Amino acid sequence: MLRGPIEIVPPGSTPRANDDRTILCHINPTGCFLEGGPHGDCGLTGRKIIVDTYGGRGRHGGGAFSGKDPTKVDRSAAYMGRYIAKNIVAAGLAGQCEVQLSYAIGYPDPLNIWVSTFGSAAHGLTDGQIADVIRKHFKLTPRGIIETLNLRRPIYRETARHGHFGRENPAFTWEKTDKADALRRAIGMAA
């Protein structure tokens, strides 16, 4: 139950209070949205979406990975989630990890970062603590994801066959574990 005053904050403004008790609700943060249908979203769907989930093990928001525009977080954030999860496991923070990044159109930062280590978190860490480390060590805006993973290269043809994940291909930057040492240091673990 909400207690206290409710503040309406226009898009682009900052709320007066922004602490643990503040609930931010984003209502149509993109503003007027007139572009829809084939002009706004086009690409393969249906069976392609099922293929991209790796039989349900690699869950994602429902957009097929067939688009080539890295500003669309359906694909780019899934790659970033893979990159983050691989680095968490490589750092020894967990035996397995799933990372969920939730976005709203018109708002560049993820509204939520959810982590599940399926009970395999190491050294008394909680999934919430790992999410806090992620927030501090990864650039999660669409621009940050594009820059981190260098997604403006012509790499997407190679992803169209044999899958997006689990292949040692130098073009697949989301498979690197180059942040493992920084994550280990962030929680005070020895290498």
**pLDDT tens string 3-41:** 666 777 776 677 776 666 677 777 777 667 666 555 555
Name the band, by pLDDT with cuts 50, 70 and 90, for residue 46: very low
Question: Which of 57-71, 116-130, 137-151, 170-184 comes out lowest in average pLDDT?
Answer: 57-71
What pLDDT does residue 47 have? 46
* pLDDT tens, position by position, 68-126: 788 888 889 989 999 999 999 999 999 999 999 998 888 899 999 999 999 999 978 99
pTM of the model: 0.76
Q: Please, where are the H alpha helices in the chain?
A: 37-40, 47-52, 73-90, 127-137, 142-149, 156-159, 180-186
* Residue 167, both tokens: 């292949």
Q: Helix, strand, coil: what percent of the chain each, to 5?
A: 30, 10, 60
Q: In degrees, to the nearest 5, what angle opens at C-alpha 145 toward C-alphas 144 and 151?
A: 120
Sign of CA dihedral 41, 135, 21, 1: positive
What pLDDT does residue 115 have? 96
- Beta carbons of 81 and 101 less than 8 angstroms apart: yes
Residue that has been written with the tokens 């694909």 in this structure: 75
What pLDDT does residue 1 have? 57
* Residue 75, both tokens: 């694909």
**How far apart are the two ends of the chain, measured CA to CA in Å?**
46
- Beta carbons of 66 and 48 less than 8 angstroms apart: yes
